[in-house]
Amino acid sequence: MSAKKRKYNEDYIRFGFVSLRKGDTEVPQCVICYKTLSNDGMRPSRLERHLQTAHPGLVDKPKAFFETKKHTLKQVKMDDSGVFRQQSSKVVEASYEISMLIAKSKKSHNIGETLIKPSILCAAQLILGKDSANKLSQISLSNDTVQRRIHELSQDIKEQTLELVRASPVFAIQCDETTDIAQCAQFLMYARFLSGNNIKEEILFCCPMESCTTAEAIFKVTSDFFKENKLSWDSLIGVCTDGAPAMVGLRSGFITKVKEKNPSVISTHCIIHRESLASRTLPDEMRDVLNVAIKVVNFIKSGALNSRLFKLLCKDMDSEHEALLFHTNIRWLSKGNMLERLYELREEVIIFLDSQQKAALHDKFKSDSFQIILAYLVDIFESLNAVNLKLQGKNIHIISHHDTIRTFMAKLDLWKHRIQQGNAASFRNLDSGLAHGNLDPELKILIITHLSSLKAEFTKYFPDIDDMRESWKFIRNPFQCEFADVAEEIQEEFLELKFNSTAKDEFNDLDLETFWIKYHSVYPLISHQALRVLTMFGSTYLCETAFSTLTAIKTKYRNRLDVEDDLCCALSNIKPRIQDLVSKKQCQVSH
């Protein structure tokens, strides 16, 4: 016996329902949320229950109110399910989400219509059926649409970032410039600021420099950005740069012009850049060994035939690696990696040079003195690379950077002392390569000379590192300091903090940033001094990694792209408010 089919009554409009025909069956549809019920739900009690539960604020509305909604509903194009409006908003939302994924993956905008959408439709039709594929086909992923979506997403992220920076009591910036594939100078800036119980780092902007990259031009771009977005110069506490003359010039540099706006701003030269400069010192004998090593690598790697023959040799000898590595001076870690690989394949290299009749290179490379110095270079560059890697990364405050440098400088003294005692245990490859474990007197002097020059260079590039340690002592641990260790104007507040047993217990459980942010409202003077330091950038690492992303986004095939929107979406950790963007859109489907 078939179920009874219920009929619509015109009086049901007082509950906010009209009739919608599905095939040969009538179903009730709400004029407010457009939801449809089953035919069995076409009962006054069920319709009234929907109104009371889903739209309680409209229960007392007169019948005329729902009649007006009914008229509006008739003007809206519905599909056969009666839910076109809800579906189309989801379609727009999906378009935003996919556009964000395209930006995050640094892909071309037209990949949406050339690969992503065809893939979605193919999979949907095979797995879910033609009807599902037809619904997904409404997602608009054309090149222009994706570009607009990415722009809107970027603007929303930028607005959220600026709101957080403006709300922060202090913030710092790091900035740098580079030249992209189209020979256009790109100036990029990051901000580090307080947000909730944390310190966050976000990209502020990336701006093409239309003419020169002088200090005046860079400052004008920065000043205009601050003015346009209502950022306070008084809240700016630190600027980190790569130390270029345009940035740090005493009379007309960018830093000088910033200090005209706020004299209390602290300028820092990128600590990674300084470490790289300090590491370049080498005695002549070691530099000769390094140059020979580079010649050997270039001989094997520069020709395709030699590369293939060397690879076959490594396979025949069952070597751990099958190729050497190139190095470039502009990359921080490549020289150490090149030397390490060369040393690991030294037996294979000797055989290959002999087979290629490169007698001069072969004899130099095979000599014991060369091998010993090469082993030392591998060890010392490995240590320098380890320091460099510790200095890299996100959300690292400047105190940690200084601790890393001070640790390495102390190790240099330790290594020098051990070498003077004839102990090479600190250098793994050198120690294993020594005949009978004894250091040659000449080699000992050579290594001591190098370690001494390294220490001198690090002292030159980090002259104030010990002074900073003392002035930041209260930040590291205020409970192990005396009032004389802090400025006079905050000494009384310091003592209140020092003898706060609750704060002392929490200090052991929280990281530095969280602790000082938490007690900023309780001890504002001393916390402000601490946060000024913890908010500072120690390096331009974020700018350097952003430039790598820029290179991936702006290629020779996309050399006219305005890269800022894609870069912002790719690099930011802030989630765009897609629901808000969708709500502002007139929902339309793909044609």
What amino acid is encoded at 95 in this protein? Answer: S
Q: Among 152-156, 210-214, 512-516, name the one with the lowest average pLDDT.
A: 210-214
Domain ranges of the chain: 10-79, 278-461, 472-534
Report, as an integer, the average pLDDT of 17-46: 85
Residue/partner pairs of 266-269 with CB below 8 Å, 24 or more apart: 266/237, 266/238, 266/239, 266/532, 266/536, 267/238, 267/239, 267/240, 267/241, 268/238, 268/239, 268/240, 268/241, 268/398, 268/536, 268/537, 268/538, 269/240, 269/241, 269/242, 269/243
pLDDT above 60 (res 157)? yes
pLDDT above 50 (res 336)? yes
- pTM score above 0.85: no
What's the pLDDT at 420? 92
Q: Where do the DSSP E strands lie in 210-363?
A: 236-241, 266-269
Residue of 40, 13, 45, 39 whose CA lies nearest to 26: 39
For the chain, how big is the Rg over CA atoms in Å? 34
Report, as an integer, the average pLDDT of 64-72: 84
Give the range with max mean pLDDT: 4-8, 504-508, 581-585: 504-508
pLDDT by residue (tens digit) across 390-448?
999 898 999 999 999 999 999 999 999 999 998 888 999 998 888 666 788 899 999 99
pLDDT by residue (tens digit) across 131-148?
888 888 889 999 999 999
> Are the beta carbons of 538 and 190 closer than 8 angstroms?
no
pLDDT by residue (tens digit) across 79-113?
555 555 455 788 889 999 999 999 999 999 999 99
pLDDT above 50 (res 591)? no
Q: Is 143 exposed, middle or buried (0-12, 13-18, 19+ CB in 10 A)?
A: middle
Report the phi/psi class of residue 437: left, alpha or beta, with left for phi > 0 and alpha for psi in -120 to 50: left
Whole-angstrom distance, CA of residue 189 vs CA of residue 242: 12
Beta bridge partners of 451: none
Buried b / exposed e along 289-325 (16+ C-beta atoms within 10 A): bbebbbebbebbbeeeeeeeebbebbeeeebeeeebb
Residue of 501, 546, 540 whose CA lies nearest to 398: 540
End-to-end Cα distance, the chain: 45
What's the pLDDT at 391? 92
pLDDT by residue (tens digit) across 565-576?
999 999 999 999
- % of the chain at pLDDT higher than 90: 59
Residue 34 per-residue DSSP state = -
pLDDT by residue (tens digit) across 344-369?
999 999 999 999 989 999 999 999 89
pLDDT above 60 (res 222)? yes
- Comparing 437 with 583, which gets the higher pLDDT? 583
pLDDT above 90 (res 57)? no
The residue with tokens 């009749």 is: 357
DSSP letters, 344-392, are: HTHHHHHHHHHHTT-HHHHHHHHSHHHHHHHHHHHHHHHHHHHHHHHH-
Whole-angstrom distance, CA of residue 192 vs CA of residue 204: 10
Q: In sequence order, what are the residues at sequence separation of 6 or more whose Cβ sits closer than 8 angstroms to the Cβ of residue 558?
A: 108
Helix spans in 428-523 (H): 428-433, 441-461, 465-471, 473-476, 491-498, 501-509, 512-518
